[in-house]
Amino acid sequence: MNIPDSMPPLKAFDTGSAGESTLSSSAKGRASGDDGSEGEKPKESQASKVAKLARERYALFLSDDGRPYAVANDGPHLAVPLRGKAGLRSQLARIYADENNGAVPSQTALADAMTVLEGVAAGTEPRVPQLRVARHGDSIVVDLGTPDGRCVVVGPHGWQREPRSPVLFRRSGAMKSLPEPVRDGDGLATLRALLNIDEAGFRLLVAWLVAAFIPDLPHPILAFRGEQGTGKSKAAQMVIGIVDPSGAPKRTAPRDMRTWATQAFNSWALCLDNVSIVPDWLSDALCRAVTGEGVIDRALYTDDDVVVLEFRRVLAMTTIDAGALQGDLAERLLTLELNLIPEDKRREEADLDTAFSDGHAAILASLFDLLAQVVKALPDTTLTHRPRMADFARVLAAVDRVRGWNTLDSYRQSARDAVSDVLDGDPFGQAVLTLADRAGPDGVTMTAREILDAVEAPDKLPKGWPKDPTRAGTKLKRLAPTLRTVGVEIDDSQRGGNAQRKRLYAIRSTPQRLAEIEGASQRPQRPQRPHDDEHQGVSRENTMDAANPGMDAANSHSVQPSYRGDQQQQGPMDAADAMDTVSQPLSTDASRDPATSLHCPDCGEPLPPGRARCQSCFEVLQKGSE
């Protein structure tokens, strides 16, 4: 083989003692760099530097829903997500630039570092970061939302501000900071002056606000209801701002479940504004958000991984009329009715915003004072009768105990009104009520088909009326808690004795409800008489009552002349003319019902003792005699 003259000769390899080819010593020195020669160490990558910074300064962990977080070793006790606009990634980029004379890490380096850090977090014990409020022993910790992680700790013996939270919190982009509470006069009176609400409603609202800072219980949905011009939206904005201020305290009703879950996961308290109708899916979602919900969603940037959004929230809504609500949602509402604000008492929105901002710190201080008293009273507070939202009702009982209020009874009345509204908007529920009441104390036991045949159906079936036995059974199941509230029991535990074994529904009105119905039917109703308008100036207040202890002789003489003129034209009075009260003995029969025995025989109006006719009917009789 001929080798061209221009080709350089091949360098010979050194041969070791074992006959193996080896590099020259100089080549080995350059490769190893450990023989004293001038070899260079491998350069550390940006990704390695970023990951090293993170592991030195942060503790990494996974939350119980599978999300990776980091918390600073020497800083606020706040869980920072690894990704996102305000996450660990952006913080590490800033720290890297500060320590490397302004050099910026590449996006690839940051992404590689995040992958490593997520793996580190996956190998740790899960932790649960809280949002805005959290339980810590027998105390409650409220995150003020400040960058330095300050908080307020409320316990049985009062509250105090702390520079670092004992509980791990997380933040979201929807949150704003709370002012530090400051005792400056009566904060509740300041709040009272900002709201268009009566005293009973205001006390119920204060109790709801106290409960809103207690994390481990279901909270009823606060519903501000009223016509236009009652200040519903502004009241809801201020109330939510007291608990969990946000850049968007009022939000439109979500369009789908995913949008709703994202909103609820990132706010402790939120308000749906101007709700005109509540679709079935949203009704169920609101109920679950009150009691606690977990929503599974696809993890970001993945096709096969999922995350769980777990939350229990404080909710409010404003509405003129939300339409026919589902019974389970109505039972979770706390409705406050707002009255129309007169034009001379309206305030500009900027004025309200300024007044609220100036009083927010004092309002918080007064609420925390009351919350501390409630926390102390709760262990010794028990309920003999527990409504649907029993945990919240117990908080109300504790508020009533320390303040001398009556919020629990107000809440129960509000719940009954909400149930009545549900039945008013449900024709099938009204038909079942009528069926139970007509059946008497024994009630009825029927299949769903028989119930459909027995109830009085309108000619044109309305929306929601069950069209077959299966839907009727489902409807009865949904209506059962609502009907039970108004005194109608439904039991579906029985089965028919035939081969088909169809489910039987036992429907029965309680004795108390039947007694109320019977009493209402026996109560006489005054018919409209032609002379009512003519004599409306002579009302029952002008009727002489012989049994009234406040009627003395002087008063009796001052009233008598207007009657005596007629009496003198008529001649002698007899018992039938009803003016001689002395000659009209009262019934001594103790068995007679006073609701039916002392009524005017002509119009049915209740009579004062000793009278046989009401004043209006007597005057008509007098004029007829003339």
Report the candidate in 325, 359, 352 with the shortest Cα–Cα distance to residue 233.
352
Q: What size, in residues, is the chain?
A: 626
Question: pLDDT grade, residue 415 (50/70/90)?
Answer: confident
Question: pLDDT grade, residue 596 (50/70/90)?
Answer: very low
Question: pLDDT grade, residue 80 (50/70/90)?
Answer: very high
Of the chain, the percentage scoring pLDDT greater than 70 comes to 73
Res 554 pLDDT > 50: no
Q: Which amino acid is at 381?
A: T
**pTM for this predicted structure:** 0.70
Res 162 pLDDT > 80: yes
Which ranges in 247-309 belong to alpha helices (H)? 257-265, 280-291
What average pLDDT score do residues 262-283 get? 88
Q: Hey, CA dihedral for 286, 292, 293, 299, is it positive or negative?
A: positive
Lowest mean pLDDT among 27-41, 165-179, 283-297, 578-592: 578-592
CB 157 within 8 A of CB 374: no
pLDDT for 191: 95
Q: Which architecture does CATH list for 426-522?
A: Orthogonal Bundle (1.10)
Res 27 pLDDT > 60: no
What average pLDDT score do residues 589-616 get? 54
Q: Hey, CA dihedral for 317, 323, 328, 331, is it positive or negative?
A: positive
CB 547 within 8 A of CB 609: yes
Res 594 pLDDT > 80: no
What are the pLDDT digits (tens) for 288-327?
A: 888 876 555 554 444 445 555 667 899 999 988 766 677 6
Res 244 pLDDT > 90: yes
Q: Which architecture does CATH list for 187-417?
A: 3-Layer(aba) Sandwich (3.40)
d(CA 387, CA 409): 11
Res 373 pLDDT > 90: yes
For 292, half-sphere exposure in the C-beta direction (CA atoms, 13 angstrom radius) is 4
Cα(first)–Cα(last) distance of the chain, in Å? 158
Q: Which amino acid is at 559?
A: V
Q: Decide which of 617 and 275 is more confident.
A: 275
Domain locations in the chain as residue ranges: 46-122, 187-417, 426-522, 540-625
- Which tokens sit at 590? 């103790």
Contacts of 555 (CB under 8 A, 6+ apart): none
What average pLDDT score do residues 525-530 get? 52
d(CA 483, CA 420): 9
Q: Decide which of 580 and 368 is more confident.
A: 368
Contacts of 498 (CB under 8 A, 6+ apart): none
Q: Is 220 exposed, middle or buried (0-12, 13-18, 19+ CB in 10 A)?
A: buried
Lowest mean pLDDT among 295-299, 388-392, 450-454, 461-465: 295-299
